[in-house]
């Protein structure tokens, strides 16, 4: 017998074969199954709507959240809707004291329209809730500093800037002519004006084209949902001022004093995303962290104008409907993410709860609709509850998805938008001041460097048996809120605040 080979008995050989077979069987339980070469080829960034193998697509209008389309109806936003956001920033209270409660309450009591007692009670605890939350995690933290307040104020200074109130770029519109955000600045040359024919492309080509433009304008993902007899119910019937929103068989959209008119042919809803600054979100709810969403709100008006003008340049209409619709429902239907316990934030399998201001625009440019996804997010939320555990204001449900709001005071006041038509989670609008602490701690909010994250995503997408273990490990490994002052000590804050590896990983 050659001395180069170890002998293997027949018994050992058969035992080895059996063990290898058992191992292969176990591996197959979590391995991707490709049915043909097209599926293999689709697993790359070249696909306009990149989906790794562990993200499954569902049928149109059938997300992981159950919806009663029969019960759903177009919302009347003139109904008063009370929420704590807007009353909690230092710019409202005008004070930076560690105990600004008295000053904040004085301002609330002086408002011409008083806030609800529920909000007043919630806000009475707000400043100390923020302090207590951060101090408990980081005892050495000495509180918000003047530069933290300056950062938040600067980030907010151009948030939601209304280009249309000031005549737009280069004053194509006279100083007294205010354009409509609904129909746009209308500064781009139309194809006819340049001597071109209107752009023609297949819906798939058009989606890829729009995605390319929006990535350049700073948007990570683009989804499309077609307006149907069901999804039209997600377009409000009236805006907050009582102005009706009507679909009609006309050629051009109009925004006149009495109504918004949407042509029936403008039936493709473009949903485009906007990440929050990565490392700032991890510092919420401290003051410097609160600048995270404001930075996104600053970029959003620019992106919506750019998309509108791009569509106009192609020869199509772009109707800005952010104020006429709600973001999460369209995002979920389009496959940006899933509805989870975060409720007011769609949870992306790639970016977690780090999206801010997912915008919507209707167009008549033919676009290929994108399907809802199942990436195991909603099922992970059932057991995880990390967002709820890290909310300073007890604004989260800790139970299972329900058809109604979990809080009696919200149910009684019907303080919800279309709140009875989906089986899911809801936040307390009275208590949630939009502190964003939940977004920073979501288990799916991860920077894409460690390989373990995709392993966890793939496994939780395939089976839920390890979800509880993954949540425990997320805590054990120290993921979540970071010490606020340490943001200023970073060697290098990323440009736009967003970790660039997010943009290159998809």
Partner 1 sequence: MWLIIGLVAGAAVLGLVLWMRGKDISVKWYEWLIGALGLALLLFTIQNFAGSLAELESTAANMFLLVSGLPAVILLAVSWQLVARRQRAG
Separation between Cα atoms, residue 110 and residue 93, nearest integer Å: 11
Shortest distance, position 282 Cβ to partner 1, whole Å: 9
Looking at beta carbons only, is 200 or 472 nearer to partner 1? 472
Looking at beta carbons only, is 363 or 439 nearer to partner 1? 439
Shortest distance, position 449 Cβ to partner 1, whole Å: 4
Q: Which residue has the tokens 């966890």?
A: 456
Shortest distance, position 3 Cβ to partner 1, whole Å: 6
- DSSP β-ladder status, 268-272 and 373-374: unpaired
Shortest distance, position 470 Cβ to partner 1, whole Å: 13
Answer yes or no: are the C-beta atoms of 163 and 172 closer than 8 Å: no
Residues forming a β-bridge with 374: 56
Looking at beta carbons only, is 16 or 193 nearer to partner 1? 16
Shortest distance, position 6 Cβ to partner 1, whole Å: 4
Looking at beta carbons only, is 374 or 499 nearer to partner 1? 499
Looking at beta carbons only, is 185 or 284 nearer to partner 1? 284
Answer yes or no: are the C-beta atoms of 367 and 268 closer than 8 Å: yes
Shortest distance, position 139 Cβ to partner 1, whole Å: 16
Question: What order do you get walking across the sheet with 245-248 strand by strand?
Answer: 245-248, 260-263, 254-255
Secondary structure element (H or E) that encloses residue 301, with its range:
helix 291-314
Cα dihedral sign, 445-448-452-456: positive
Looking at beta carbons only, is 399 or 468 nearer to partner 1? 468
Looking at beta carbons only, is 196 or 477 nearer to partner 1? 477
Shortest distance, position 499 Cβ to partner 1, whole Å: 8
Answer yes or no: are the C-beta atoms of 390 and 481 closer than 8 Å: yes
Burial of 101 (0-12, 13-18, 19+ CB in 10 A): middle
Separation between Cα atoms, residue 278 and residue 283, nearest integer Å: 9
Q: Is 260 helix (H, G, I), strand (E, B) or coil?
A: strand
Separation between Cα atoms, residue 268 and residue 226, nearest integer Å: 5
Answer yes or no: are the C-beta atoms of 221 and 270 closer than 8 Å: no
- The two structure tokens encoding residue 203: 């819906």
Cα dihedral sign, 201-207-211-217: positive
Shortest distance, position 454 Cβ to partner 1, whole Å: 11
Shortest distance, position 288 Cβ to partner 1, whole Å: 16
Separation between Cα atoms, residue 103 and residue 109, nearest integer Å: 10
Shortest distance, position 140 Cβ to partner 1, whole Å: 16
Looking at beta carbons only, is 258 or 492 nearer to partner 1? 492
Looking at beta carbons only, is 3 or 170 nearer to partner 1? 3
Shortest distance, position 353 Cβ to partner 1, whole Å: 17
- DSSP β-ladder status, 373-374 and 318-320: unpaired
Binding site for partner 1 (CB under 8 A): 3-4, 6, 8, 12, 16, 279, 446-447, 449-452, 476-479, 490, 501
Separation between Cα atoms, residue 271 and residue 96, nearest integer Å: 37
Answer yes or no: are the C-beta atoms of 58 and 404 closer than 8 Å: no
Q: Would you report the helix, strand and coil content of the chain in percent, each value rounded to 5?
A: 40, 10, 50
Looking at beta carbons only, is 327 or 439 nearer to partner 1? 439
Closest CA to 211 of 225, 223, 227, 226: 223
Closest CA to 92 of 105, 79, 82, 83: 105
Looking at beta carbons only, is 34 or 477 nearer to partner 1? 477
């Amino acid at each position: 017998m050659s001395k180069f080979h170890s002998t293997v008995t027949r018994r050992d050989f058969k035992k080895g074969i059996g063990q290898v077979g058992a191992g292969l069987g176990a591996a197959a339980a979590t391995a991707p199954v490709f049915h043909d070469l097209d599926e293999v080829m689709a697993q790359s960034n070249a696909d306009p709507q990149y989906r790794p193998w562990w993200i499954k697509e569902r049928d149109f209008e059938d997300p992981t959240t159950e919806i009663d389309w029969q019960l759903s109806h177009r919302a009347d936003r003139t109904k008063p809707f009370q929420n704590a956001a807007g009353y909690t920033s230092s710019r409202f209270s005008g004070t930076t004291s560690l105990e600004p409660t008295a000053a904040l309450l004085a301002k609330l009591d002086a408002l011409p329209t008083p806030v609800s007692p529920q909000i007043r009670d919630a806000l009475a605890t707000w400043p100390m809730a923020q302090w207590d939350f951060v101090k408990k995690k980081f005892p050495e933290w000495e509180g918000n500093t003047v530069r933290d307040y300056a950062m938040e104020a600067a980030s907010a200074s151009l948030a939601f800037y209304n280009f249309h109130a000031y005549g737009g770029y280069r004053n194509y519109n006279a100083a007294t002519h205010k354009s409509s955000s609904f129909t746009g600045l209308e500064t781009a040359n139309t194809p006819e004006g340049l001597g071109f024919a209107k752009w023609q492309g297949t819906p798939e080509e058009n989606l890829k084209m729009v995605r390319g433009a929006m990535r350049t304008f700073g948007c990570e993902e683009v989804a499309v949902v077609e307006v149907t007899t069901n999804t039209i119910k997600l377009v409000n019937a009236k805006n907050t001022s009582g102005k009706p929103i009507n679909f009609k068989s006309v050629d051009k959209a109009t925004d006149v004093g009495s109504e918004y008119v949407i042509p029936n042919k403008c039936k493709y809803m473009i949903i485009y995303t906007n990440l929050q600054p990565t490392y700032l979100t991890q510092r919420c709810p401290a003051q410097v962290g609160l600048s995270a969403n404001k930075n996104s709100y600053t970029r959003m008006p620019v992106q919506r104008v750019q998309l509108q003008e791009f569509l106009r340049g192609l020869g199509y209409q772009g109707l800005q409907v952010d104020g006429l619709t709600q973001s999460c429902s369209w995002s979920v239907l389009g496959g940006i993410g899933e509805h989870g316990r975060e409720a007011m934030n769609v949870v992306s399998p790639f970016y977690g709860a780090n999206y801010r201001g997912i915008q919507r625009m209707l167009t008549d440019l033919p676009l290929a609709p994108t399907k809802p996804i199942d990436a195991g997010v909603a099922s992970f939320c059932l057991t995880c509850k990390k967002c709820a555990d890290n909310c300073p204001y007890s604004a989260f449900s800790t139970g299972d998805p329900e058809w109604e709001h979990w809080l009696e005071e919200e149910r009684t006041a019907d303080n919800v938008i279309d709140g009875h038509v989906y089986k899911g989670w809801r936040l307390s609008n009275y208590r949630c001041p939009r502190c964003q602490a939940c977004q920073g701690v979501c288990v799916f909010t991860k920077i894409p460097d460690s390989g373990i994250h995709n392993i966890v995503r793939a496994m939780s997408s395939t089976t839920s048996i390890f979800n509880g273990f993954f949540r425990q490990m997320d805590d054990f490994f120290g993921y979540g809120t970071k010490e606020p002052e340490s943001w200023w000590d970073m060697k290098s804050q990323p440009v736009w605040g967003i970790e660039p590896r997010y943009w290159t990983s998809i």
